[in-house]
Amino acid sequence: MAKSTPFVMQLEEYSWAYIDECIQHSKEVVSGSGKVVEVRDRYIPTVDYFLRVWIPRNYSKKDTIKRSTYYRWLKWENTFKQKVIKSIDDDFKALATDIVANEGKGIFYAKNRLGMHDKQHIETKTVEGFDFDN
Q: Identify whether the C-beta of residue 44 lies closer than 8 Å to the C-beta of residue 22.
A: yes
Burial of residue 108 (number of CB atoms within 10 Å: 0-12, 13-18, 19+): exposed
Specify if 131 maps to a domain.
Answer: no
Q: Looking at the domain assignment, is residue 70 inside a domain?
A: yes
The more confident residue out of 108 and 96 is: 96
Residue 54 resides in a domain = yes
Enter the DSSP assignment of 51: I
- Domain enclosing residue 22, as ranges: 5-112
- Of residues 126 and 2, the one with the higher pLDDT is 2
pLDDT tens per residue, range 34-79: 999 888 888 999 999 999 999 999 999 999 999 999 999 999 988 9
- More confident: 99 or 124: 99
Question: What number of residues does the chain have?
Answer: 134
Evaluate whether residue 101 is within a structural domain: yes
Q: Please give the pLDDT value at position 101.
A: 79
Q: Is residue 133 part of a domain?
A: no
Tally of domains within the chain: 1
Q: What is the pLDDT of residue 6?
A: 93
Question: Inter-axis angle of helices 67-75 and 80-103, to 10 degrees?
Answer: 110
More confident residue, 93 or 134: 93
Residues 6+ apart with CB under 8 A from 35: none
